């Protein structure tokens, strides 16, 4: 094991150290998880539910500490971090209603009875990125545990602290040892082992499309089940008949929340040509008003980027030839800051309009009519989310059906609710998380025929 230092991205100061797992310890943890799976699957559904509710209560009691830890480790604003810890609690509470509701079917057959069962898979490996360490962990582990699986979870190397704390809270809540283990370490060591270890029966991966493709290819060797939540380049489509004031006022939050480090960021704003200039004028004060600064301050709306390396990558998207319409502000001094930035690409094929930047840069592009808006929105390999601003209900529904994305919002940018399904079309992912069927993604359907003659 090696000791790794965690850095506060707002101050560049060390926050904590942690022990990074090597292969031997990873294998030992997976073996313990496999052993624990034998008894966890037999815990009565009502008892499993009760234990998950106790886990939710432990998270709730620790909410402020978890949130403060995320502010220090990830630079998330304190308001966001509280929401994120609350989301883990809510997902656990919601999934606690699932063990007793994993219903099978009884199917009419001749000569007997045919019934189906939802069987747990065994050990589930959850691999989490650095941009939303708490919610993304919860979306994987809560339904997996509810369905009777044990979980090994690998947080991102940059942001392991809240996951490590959740690994303590699960024991305080009284769940049996080894049912949920947190294994901090490198993706190439711990994450890869989830892919190659035969006892891990499913991998839930959230991260870049590039790594997701490798994970899927690796899992194919064992025909291992996989859920992928990958990148995005989502469109915010503003039609001329929309409430332009509301569309402009909310567009910054739709892309700059979490400093744009959000797979659902509406990083392309497509505006109907007749209102393009008006929209840009309305957007400017909203962008300049974004409060960027110390994420621990209650009033801060945007914090720093996660690392110096990532800040440099983001900055690389604004080249000398790029037309910058306007920018917001950011603090000087230590911290990995980048201001909210609005760019006007020369064409829809410019890098800023096609690649996932994962930072606070938004590209604004014009379109002529509904058909062109849909074509532009779909001119990407991604398909995660998007927004449609219009007062015409028929158009809202037509465009929602035509855009190749998993999560669309009309006159809103909200894409995530723990009780509705979430996931991507095309290269934004495979499978769905959250929603009423969340636990089913962690089961196999077994069909049993019982002869009565």
Q: Is 426 in the site for ligand TAP (CB under 6 A)?
A: no
Among residues 156 and 365, whose Cβ is nearest to ligand TAP?
A: 156
Beta-strand pair 225-229/150-154 = unpaired
Containing 244, the helix (H) or strand (E) segment is helix 244-256
The active-site residue out of 95, 118, 219, 263 is: 263
Residue 129 C-beta: closest distance to ligand TAP, Å: 3
Q: Which of 41, 50, 186, 440 binds ligand TAP (CB under 6 A)?
A: 186
Crossing angle, helix 78-95 and helix 133-146, to 10 degrees?
10
Task: Report the Cα–Cα distance between both ends of the chain, in Å, rounded.
Answer: 61
CA-based Rg of the chain, rounded to a whole angstrom? 23
263 is catalytic: yes
75 contributes a contact to ligand TAP by CB under 6 A: no
CB of 355 to ligand TAP, least distance (A): 10
Q: Is 187 in the site for ligand TAP (CB under 6 A)?
A: yes
Q: Give me the least distance between CB of 306 and ligand TAP, in Å please.
A: 8
- Determine, following the binding rule CB under 6 A, whether residue 214 of this chain makes contact with ligand TAP: yes
Asked whether position 207 contacts ligand TAP by CB under 6 A, the answer is yes
Phi, psi dihedral angles at 137 (to 5 degrees): -60, -50
CB 55 within 8 A of CB 19: no
| 320 CB neighbour count, 10 Å cutoff | 4
DSSP 258: G
Cβ neighbours of 177 (radius 10 Å) = 10
For strand 106-107 and strand 112-120, is the pairing parallel, antiparallel, or unpaired? antiparallel
Please pick, from the candidates 231, 254, 304, 335, the single residue that binds ligand TAP as defined by CB under 6 A. 231
211: contact with ligand TAP by CB under 6 A? yes
Could you say which of 70, 84, 229, 356 is catalytic?
229
- Quick one: which segment of 167-175, 209-217, 240-248, 435-443 binds ligand TAP (CB under 6 A)? 209-217
CB of 144 vs ligand TAP, minimal distance in Å:
16
Would you call 242 helix, strand, or coil by DSSP? coil
Stretch that binds ligand TAP, among 75-83, 211-219, 368-376, 386-394 (CB under 6 A): 211-219
Select from 376, 420, 114 the least CA-distant residue to 412: 420
User: Cβ distance 40 to 144 under 8 Å?
Assistant: no
Which of 49, 51, 136, 147 is the binder for ligand TAP (CB under 6 A)? 136
**Residue partners of 228: CB distance under 8 A and separation at least 6:** 205, 206, 212, 215, 216, 424, 429, 430, 431
Residue 153 binds to ligand TAP (criterion: CB under 6 A): no
Query: DSSP of 55-69, one letter per residue?
Result: HHHHHHHTHHHHHHH
From the list 7-15, 131-139, 290-298, 346-354, the region that binds ligand TAP by CB under 6 A is 131-139
Secondary element (H or E) of residue 134: helix 133-146
For residue 9, state whether it binds ligand TAP (rule: CB under 6 A): no
DSSP SS3 for 94: helix
268 forms beta bridges with 235, 363
Q: Please tell me whether residue 192 binds ligand TAP under the rule CB under 6 A.
A: yes
Candidates 21-29, 130-138, 245-253, 394-402: pick the segment binding ligand TAP (CB under 6 A). Answer: 130-138
Binding mask 306-345 for ligand TAP (x = CB under 6 A): ----------------------------------------
Q: Which of 49, 128, 175, 244 binds ligand TAP (CB under 6 A)?
A: 128
Count of CB atoms situated within 10 Å of the CB of 443: 21
The smaller minimum CB distance to ligand TAP, of residues 157 and 294, is found at 157
Q: Half-sphere exposure of residue 71, counting CA atoms within 13 Å on the CB side?
A: 22
Report the nearest approach of ligand TAP to the CB of residue 193 (Å).
8
Which residues are known to be catalytic?
229, 263
Contact positions toward ligand TAP, by CB under 6 A?
127-132, 136, 154, 156-157, 186-188, 191-192, 206-208, 211, 214-215, 229-232, 263, 356, 358, 384, 424, 429
């Amino acid at each position: 094991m090696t000791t790794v230092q965690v850095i506060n991205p707002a101050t560049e100061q060390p926050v904590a150290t942690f022990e990074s797992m090597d292969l031997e310890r990873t294998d030992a943890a997976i073996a313990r998880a496999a052993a624990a799976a034998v008894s966890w699957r037999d815990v009565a559904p009502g008892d499993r539910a009760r234990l998950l509710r106790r886990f939710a209560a432990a998270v709730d009691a620790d909410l402020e500490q978890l949130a403060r830890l995320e502010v220090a480790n990830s630079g998330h604003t304190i308001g966001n971090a509280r929401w994120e810890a609350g989301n883990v609690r809510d997902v656990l509470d919601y999934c606690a209603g699932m063990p007793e509701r994993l219903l099978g079917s009884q199917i009419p057959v001749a000569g007997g009875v045919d019934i189906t069962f939802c069987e747990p898979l065994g050990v589930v490996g959850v691999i989490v990125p650095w941009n939303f360490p708490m919610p993304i962990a919860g979306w994987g582990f809560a339904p997996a545990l509810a369905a009777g699986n044990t979980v090994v979870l690998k947080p991102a190397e940059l942001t392991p602290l809240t996951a490590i704390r959740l690994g303590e809270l699960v024991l305080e809540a009284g769940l049996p040892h080894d049912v949920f283990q947190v294994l901090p370490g490198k993706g190439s060591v711990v994450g890869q082992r989830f892919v190659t270890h035969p006892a891990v029966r499913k991998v839930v991966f959230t991260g870049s499309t590039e790594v997701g493709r490798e994970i899927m290819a690796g899992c194919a060797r064992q025909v291992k089940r996989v859920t992928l939540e990958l990148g995005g380049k989502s469109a915010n489509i503003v039609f001329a008949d929309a409430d332009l004031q509301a569309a402009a006022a909310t567009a910054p939050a739709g892309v700059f929340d979490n400093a744009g480090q959000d797979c659902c960021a509406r990083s392309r704003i497509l505006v109907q040509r007749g209102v393009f200039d008006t929209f840009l004028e309305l957007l400017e004060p909203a962008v300049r008003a974004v409060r960027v600064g110390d994420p621990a301050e209650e009033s801060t709306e945007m914090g720093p980027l996660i690392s110096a390396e990532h800040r440099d990558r983001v900055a690389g998207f604004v080249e000398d030839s790029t037309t910058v319409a306007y920018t917001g502000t950011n603090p000087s001094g230590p911290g990995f800051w980048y201001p909210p930035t609005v760019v006007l690409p020369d064409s829809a094929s410019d890098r800023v309009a096609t690649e996932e930047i994962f930072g606070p840069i938004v590209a604004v592009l014009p379109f002529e009519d509904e058909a062109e808006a849909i074509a532009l929105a779909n001119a990407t390999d991604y398909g995660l989310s998007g927004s449609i601003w219009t007062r015409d209900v028929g158009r809202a529904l037509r465009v929602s059906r035509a855009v190749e994305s998993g999560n669309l919002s009309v006159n809103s940018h909200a894409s995530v609710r723990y009780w509705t399904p979430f996931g991507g079309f095309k290269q934004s992912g495979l499978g769905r998380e959250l929603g009423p069927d969340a636990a089913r993604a962690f089961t196999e359907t077994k069909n049993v025929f019982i002869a009565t003659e």
